[in-house]
Amino acid sequence: MNAARKDRIRALLKGIETGDPAAVTVVNQAKYIQHNPQTHEGSEGLAALFKRLSKTSPRVNIVRILADGDYVFAHTEYDFATRRIGFEVFRFEGDQAVEHWDNIQPRRGPNPSGHSMVDGPTEVTDLDETEANRAIVRSFVQDVLIDPRIEKLEHFIDDASFTQHNPGMADGLPALRSALQARSGESATIAYLRNHRLLAEGNFVLSVSEGTLDGVHSSFYDLFRLSGGRIVEHWDTIDAPPPTQRMEERQRQILTPEGASWPSRDNALRRLASAFLAARGRKVRSRPIHKLRGRSPEPDRILSGPLVDEPGTHPRCRVRRIE
Protein backbone atom coordinates (compact mmCIF):
# COMPACT_ATOMS: atom_id res chain seq x y z
CA MET A 1 0.00 0.00 0.00
CA ASN A 2 2.84 2.42 0.81
CA ALA A 3 4.27 2.10 -2.70
CA ALA A 4 0.88 2.93 -4.25
CA ARG A 5 0.42 5.92 -1.95
CA LYS A 6 3.88 7.21 -2.82
CA ASP A 7 3.08 6.91 -6.51
CA ARG A 8 -0.18 8.87 -6.08
CA ILE A 9 1.53 11.68 -4.14
CA ARG A 10 4.29 11.78 -6.71
CA ALA A 11 1.64 12.14 -9.43
CA LEU A 12 -0.15 14.87 -7.45
CA LEU A 13 3.00 16.94 -6.96
CA LYS A 14 4.02 16.46 -10.58
CA GLY A 15 0.49 17.38 -11.68
CA ILE A 16 1.38 21.06 -11.62
CA GLU A 17 4.04 20.27 -14.22
CA THR A 18 2.17 17.71 -16.32
CA GLY A 19 -1.35 19.15 -16.07
CA ASP A 20 -2.74 15.61 -15.68
CA PRO A 21 -6.31 15.94 -14.26
CA ALA A 22 -6.13 12.41 -12.84
CA ALA A 23 -3.42 13.55 -10.41
CA VAL A 24 -5.93 15.25 -8.10
CA THR A 25 -8.05 12.16 -7.54
CA VAL A 26 -5.76 11.22 -4.65
CA VAL A 27 -7.36 14.03 -2.61
CA ASN A 28 -10.54 13.21 -0.69
CA GLN A 29 -12.40 16.46 -1.29
CA ALA A 30 -15.02 15.78 1.39
CA LYS A 31 -12.50 15.20 4.20
CA TYR A 32 -9.43 17.16 3.09
CA ILE A 33 -7.80 19.33 5.79
CA GLN A 34 -5.22 21.89 4.68
CA HIS A 35 -2.81 23.22 7.32
CA ASN A 36 -0.96 25.71 5.17
CA PRO A 37 -1.74 29.12 6.76
CA GLN A 38 -1.71 30.79 3.34
CA THR A 39 -4.79 28.81 2.29
CA HIS A 40 -7.00 30.98 0.12
CA GLU A 41 -10.12 30.53 -1.93
CA GLY A 42 -9.12 30.07 -5.56
CA SER A 43 -11.11 30.82 -8.67
CA GLU A 44 -11.01 27.37 -10.23
CA GLY A 45 -10.68 23.70 -9.41
CA LEU A 46 -7.32 22.03 -8.86
CA ALA A 47 -7.44 19.93 -12.03
CA ALA A 48 -8.22 22.94 -14.22
CA LEU A 49 -5.58 25.03 -12.48
CA PHE A 50 -2.89 22.38 -12.92
CA LYS A 51 -3.74 22.06 -16.60
CA ARG A 52 -3.50 25.81 -17.15
CA LEU A 53 -0.28 26.29 -15.19
CA SER A 54 1.44 23.34 -16.84
CA LYS A 55 1.61 25.55 -19.95
CA THR A 56 3.87 28.03 -18.11
CA SER A 57 6.69 25.46 -17.82
CA PRO A 58 6.87 25.06 -14.02
CA ARG A 59 9.30 22.51 -12.64
CA VAL A 60 8.68 20.14 -9.73
CA ASN A 61 11.54 17.91 -8.63
CA ILE A 62 10.60 15.21 -6.10
CA VAL A 63 13.95 14.34 -4.59
CA ARG A 64 12.86 11.90 -1.87
CA ILE A 65 9.53 10.33 -1.05
CA LEU A 66 8.98 8.18 2.02
CA ALA A 67 6.13 6.59 3.98
CA ASP A 68 5.38 5.89 7.63
CA GLY A 69 2.07 4.18 8.36
CA ASP A 70 -0.70 6.48 7.14
CA TYR A 71 1.76 9.27 6.28
CA VAL A 72 3.63 9.96 3.04
CA PHE A 73 6.28 12.67 3.14
CA ALA A 74 8.32 14.14 0.33
CA HIS A 75 11.44 16.30 -0.04
CA THR A 76 10.83 18.58 -2.99
CA GLU A 77 12.27 21.35 -5.15
CA TYR A 78 10.05 23.85 -6.97
CA ASP A 79 10.86 26.26 -9.78
CA PHE A 80 7.84 28.49 -10.42
CA ALA A 81 8.40 32.24 -10.27
CA THR A 82 11.17 31.51 -7.74
CA ARG A 83 13.12 28.42 -6.69
CA ARG A 84 12.09 26.90 -3.36
CA ILE A 85 12.80 23.80 -1.29
CA GLY A 86 10.06 22.09 0.67
CA PHE A 87 8.83 19.17 2.71
CA GLU A 88 5.31 17.89 2.08
CA VAL A 89 3.47 15.64 4.56
CA PHE A 90 0.20 13.91 3.64
CA ARG A 91 -2.00 11.75 5.87
CA PHE A 92 -4.02 9.01 4.18
CA GLU A 93 -7.24 7.24 4.91
CA GLY A 94 -7.38 4.25 2.62
CA ASP A 95 -6.12 5.24 -0.80
CA GLN A 96 -6.82 8.98 -0.52
CA ALA A 97 -5.07 11.90 1.16
CA VAL A 98 -7.19 13.63 3.80
CA GLU A 99 -4.69 16.00 5.43
CA HIS A 100 -1.61 18.01 4.43
CA TRP A 101 1.21 19.96 6.07
CA ASP A 102 4.20 21.62 4.38
CA ASN A 103 7.30 23.68 5.09
CA ILE A 104 8.77 25.78 2.25
CA GLN A 105 11.71 28.15 2.05
CA PRO A 106 13.64 29.87 -0.76
CA ARG A 107 16.51 27.83 -2.15
CA ARG A 108 19.94 28.98 -1.01
CA GLY A 109 23.47 27.66 -1.37
CA PRO A 110 25.60 25.83 -2.10
CA ASN A 111 26.89 25.74 1.48
CA PRO A 112 30.57 26.12 2.47
CA SER A 113 31.14 22.41 1.75
CA GLY A 114 29.61 22.69 -1.72
CA HIS A 115 26.36 20.84 -0.99
CA SER A 116 22.92 21.96 -2.15
CA MET A 117 19.77 21.79 -0.02
CA VAL A 118 18.62 18.58 -1.77
CA ASP A 119 21.58 16.58 -3.11
CA GLY A 120 22.84 13.37 -1.52
CA PRO A 121 21.53 9.80 -1.16
CA THR A 122 17.86 9.10 -1.86
CA GLU A 123 17.61 5.31 -1.46
CA VAL A 124 15.71 3.98 1.54
CA THR A 125 17.65 1.22 3.30
CA ASP A 126 17.71 -0.51 6.70
CA LEU A 127 13.95 -0.87 7.00
CA ASP A 128 14.43 -3.09 10.05
CA GLU A 129 16.11 -0.14 11.82
CA THR A 130 13.17 2.26 11.38
CA GLU A 131 12.06 2.35 15.02
CA ALA A 132 15.62 2.42 16.37
CA ASN A 133 16.46 5.35 14.10
CA ARG A 134 13.28 7.16 15.15
CA ALA A 135 14.30 6.78 18.80
CA ILE A 136 17.80 8.12 18.11
CA VAL A 137 16.45 11.22 16.38
CA ARG A 138 13.89 11.73 19.14
CA SER A 139 16.69 11.81 21.71
CA PHE A 140 18.88 14.04 19.54
CA VAL A 141 16.14 16.61 18.98
CA GLN A 142 15.22 16.73 22.65
CA ASP A 143 18.70 16.57 24.18
CA VAL A 144 20.70 18.63 21.67
CA LEU A 145 18.29 20.93 19.85
CA ILE A 146 15.66 21.69 22.49
CA ASP A 147 17.42 21.42 25.89
CA PRO A 148 20.16 22.15 24.46
CA ARG A 149 22.93 19.91 25.83
CA ILE A 150 25.62 20.44 23.24
CA GLU A 151 28.06 18.23 25.13
CA LYS A 152 25.98 15.24 23.97
CA LEU A 153 26.51 16.05 20.29
CA GLU A 154 29.25 13.43 19.82
CA HIS A 155 26.90 10.76 21.17
CA PHE A 156 24.70 11.13 18.08
CA ILE A 157 27.04 12.31 15.29
CA ASP A 158 30.38 11.06 14.00
CA ASP A 159 32.58 13.96 12.88
CA ALA A 160 34.28 11.93 10.14
CA SER A 161 31.05 11.02 8.35
CA PHE A 162 28.62 13.92 8.94
CA THR A 163 27.38 15.67 5.77
CA GLN A 164 25.51 18.96 6.15
CA HIS A 165 23.05 20.42 3.62
CA ASN A 166 21.96 23.48 5.58
CA PRO A 167 22.94 26.36 3.26
CA GLY A 168 24.79 28.22 6.01
CA MET A 169 26.88 25.40 7.51
CA ALA A 170 29.81 23.21 6.50
CA ASP A 171 30.26 19.46 7.01
CA GLY A 172 31.52 18.01 10.28
CA LEU A 173 30.97 18.59 13.98
CA PRO A 174 32.91 21.87 14.44
CA ALA A 175 30.52 23.87 12.22
CA LEU A 176 27.45 22.27 13.80
CA ARG A 177 28.76 22.77 17.33
CA SER A 178 29.55 26.40 16.61
CA ALA A 179 26.06 26.99 15.23
CA LEU A 180 24.40 25.26 18.20
CA GLN A 181 26.47 27.22 20.71
CA ALA A 182 25.43 30.46 19.03
CA ARG A 183 21.81 29.33 19.35
CA SER A 184 22.02 28.40 23.03
CA GLY A 185 22.92 31.81 24.48
CA GLU A 186 20.60 34.56 25.59
CA SER A 187 21.00 36.25 22.21
CA ALA A 188 20.21 33.09 20.25
CA THR A 189 18.66 33.74 16.84
CA ILE A 190 17.19 30.22 16.51
CA ALA A 191 15.54 28.31 19.34
CA TYR A 192 13.83 24.91 19.14
CA LEU A 193 10.98 24.84 21.65
CA ARG A 194 8.98 21.68 20.96
CA ASN A 195 9.01 18.62 18.74
CA HIS A 196 5.65 17.56 17.33
CA ARG A 197 6.17 14.75 14.88
CA LEU A 198 8.75 12.16 13.91
CA LEU A 199 8.18 10.29 10.65
CA ALA A 200 10.57 7.51 9.73
CA GLU A 201 11.28 4.99 7.02
CA GLY A 202 14.45 2.97 7.27
CA ASN A 203 17.52 5.19 7.32
CA PHE A 204 15.55 8.47 6.99
CA VAL A 205 13.76 10.33 9.81
CA LEU A 206 11.85 13.60 9.41
CA SER A 207 11.47 15.77 12.52
CA VAL A 208 8.76 18.46 12.68
CA SER A 209 9.39 21.08 15.37
CA GLU A 210 8.42 24.61 16.31
CA GLY A 211 10.44 27.42 17.81
CA THR A 212 11.59 30.93 17.04
CA LEU A 213 13.75 32.47 14.33
CA ASP A 214 14.93 35.97 15.25
CA GLY A 215 12.07 36.10 17.73
CA VAL A 216 9.44 35.04 15.15
CA HIS A 217 7.37 31.88 15.70
CA SER A 218 8.57 29.40 13.07
CA SER A 219 8.43 25.77 12.01
CA PHE A 220 11.55 23.63 11.58
CA TYR A 221 11.55 20.52 9.40
CA ASP A 222 14.76 18.48 9.72
CA LEU A 223 15.47 15.35 7.66
CA PHE A 224 18.18 13.04 8.99
CA ARG A 225 19.90 10.06 7.40
CA LEU A 226 21.31 7.51 9.80
CA SER A 227 23.84 4.70 9.47
CA GLY A 228 25.13 2.37 12.14
CA GLY A 229 23.13 4.09 14.87
CA ARG A 230 24.57 7.56 14.14
CA ILE A 231 23.31 10.62 12.26
CA VAL A 232 25.41 10.97 9.10
CA GLU A 233 23.51 13.53 7.00
CA HIS A 234 21.08 16.43 7.50
CA TRP A 235 18.73 18.52 5.34
CA ASP A 236 16.31 21.17 6.59
CA THR A 237 13.88 23.98 5.86
CA ILE A 238 12.77 26.83 8.12
CA ASP A 239 9.47 28.52 7.43
CA ALA A 240 8.75 31.79 9.24
CA PRO A 241 5.28 33.28 8.73
CA PRO A 242 4.68 36.72 7.23
CA PRO A 243 4.66 39.48 9.89
CA THR A 244 0.90 39.93 9.54
CA GLN A 245 0.06 36.27 10.02
CA ARG A 246 -1.91 35.47 13.15
CA MET A 247 -0.21 33.21 15.71
CA GLU A 248 -3.31 31.02 15.72
CA GLU A 249 -2.85 30.31 12.03
CA ARG A 250 0.76 29.29 12.61
CA GLN A 251 -0.28 26.95 15.39
CA ARG A 252 -2.85 25.48 13.04
CA GLN A 253 -0.13 24.71 10.51
CA ILE A 254 2.15 22.99 12.99
CA LEU A 255 -0.09 21.48 15.63
CA THR A 256 -3.39 20.35 14.16
CA PRO A 257 -3.76 16.57 14.50
CA GLU A 258 -5.63 14.18 12.32
CA GLY A 259 -9.29 13.95 13.17
CA ALA A 260 -9.67 17.48 14.55
CA SER A 261 -12.96 19.26 13.93
CA TRP A 262 -12.69 22.31 11.68
CA PRO A 263 -15.23 24.40 9.74
CA SER A 264 -16.65 22.71 6.64
CA ARG A 265 -14.27 21.89 3.81
CA ASP A 266 -16.33 23.27 0.92
CA ASN A 267 -14.23 23.86 -2.20
CA ALA A 268 -11.37 21.89 -0.65
CA LEU A 269 -9.60 21.39 -3.96
CA ARG A 270 -9.67 25.11 -4.70
CA ARG A 271 -8.09 25.84 -1.35
CA LEU A 272 -5.47 23.17 -1.92
CA ALA A 273 -4.61 24.72 -5.28
CA SER A 274 -4.19 28.26 -4.00
CA ALA A 275 -2.27 27.20 -0.88
CA PHE A 276 -0.02 24.95 -2.96
CA LEU A 277 0.88 27.78 -5.31
CA ALA A 278 1.13 30.58 -2.75
CA ALA A 279 3.66 28.68 -0.66
CA ARG A 280 5.79 28.03 -3.73
CA GLY A 281 6.00 31.59 -4.96
CA ARG A 282 3.14 31.66 -7.44
CA LYS A 283 0.63 34.46 -6.92
CA VAL A 284 -3.03 33.52 -6.99
CA ARG A 285 -5.86 36.02 -7.19
CA SER A 286 -7.81 35.22 -4.07
CA ARG A 287 -9.09 36.44 -0.75
CA PRO A 288 -8.46 34.98 2.71
CA ILE A 289 -11.10 32.49 3.82
CA HIS A 290 -11.85 34.33 7.07
CA LYS A 291 -12.58 37.51 5.09
CA LEU A 292 -14.87 35.62 2.76
CA ARG A 293 -16.73 34.30 5.77
CA GLY A 294 -16.73 37.70 7.46
CA ARG A 295 -14.91 36.60 10.59
CA SER A 296 -11.57 35.56 11.99
CA PRO A 297 -10.83 31.89 12.78
CA GLU A 298 -12.88 30.79 15.77
CA PRO A 299 -10.83 30.85 19.02
CA ASP A 300 -12.12 27.46 20.18
CA ARG A 301 -10.78 25.90 16.98
CA ILE A 302 -7.18 26.80 17.86
CA LEU A 303 -5.06 23.82 18.88
CA SER A 304 -2.35 24.36 21.46
CA GLY A 305 -1.54 20.94 22.91
CA PRO A 306 1.67 19.10 21.99
CA LEU A 307 1.82 16.20 19.59
CA VAL A 308 2.70 13.07 21.56
CA ASP A 309 5.01 10.65 19.76
CA GLU A 310 5.07 7.29 21.53
CA PRO A 311 7.59 4.64 20.46
CA GLY A 312 6.24 2.51 17.67
CA THR A 313 3.09 4.56 17.13
CA HIS A 314 2.09 7.53 15.06
CA PRO A 315 2.22 10.89 16.80
CA ARG A 316 -1.02 12.26 18.13
CA CYS A 317 -2.07 15.59 19.54
CA ARG A 318 -3.91 16.61 22.66
CA VAL A 319 -6.46 19.31 21.83
CA ARG A 320 -6.87 22.05 24.37
CA ARG A 321 -9.47 24.73 23.80
CA ILE A 322 -8.43 28.32 24.42
CA GLU A 323 -10.97 30.01 26.66
The CATH T-level fold of domain 2-108+246-317 is: Nuclear Transport Factor 2; Chain: A, (3.10.450)
Bridge partners, residue 222, by sequence: 207, 236
CA terminus-to-terminus distance, the chain = 42
Cβ atoms 60, 13 nearer than 8 A: yes
Residue 291 has pLDDT above 70, yes or no: no
Instruction: Note the pLDDT of residue 315.
Output: 30
pLDDT (mean) for 99-116: 94
What is the reported pTM? 0.78
Among 175, 221, 317, smallest CA distance to 260 is for 317
Among 220, 297, 204, 206, smallest CA distance to 254 is for 220
pLDDT digits (tens, 9 = 90+) for 204-254: 999 999 999 888 899 999 999 999 999 999 999 999 866 544 444 544 455
For 184-206, give one letter per residue: b (16+ CB within 10 A) or e.
beeebebbbeebbbbbbbbbbbb
pLDDT digits (tens, 9 = 90+) for 125-162: 999 999 999 999 999 999 999 998 999 999 999 888 99
Other CB atoms closer than 10 Å to residue 49's CB: what's the count? Answer: 25
Written as one letter, the residue type at 5 is R
The CATH T-level fold of domain 127-238 is: Nuclear Transport Factor 2; Chain: A, (3.10.450)
CATH 3.10.450.50 location in the chain? 2-108+246-317, 127-238
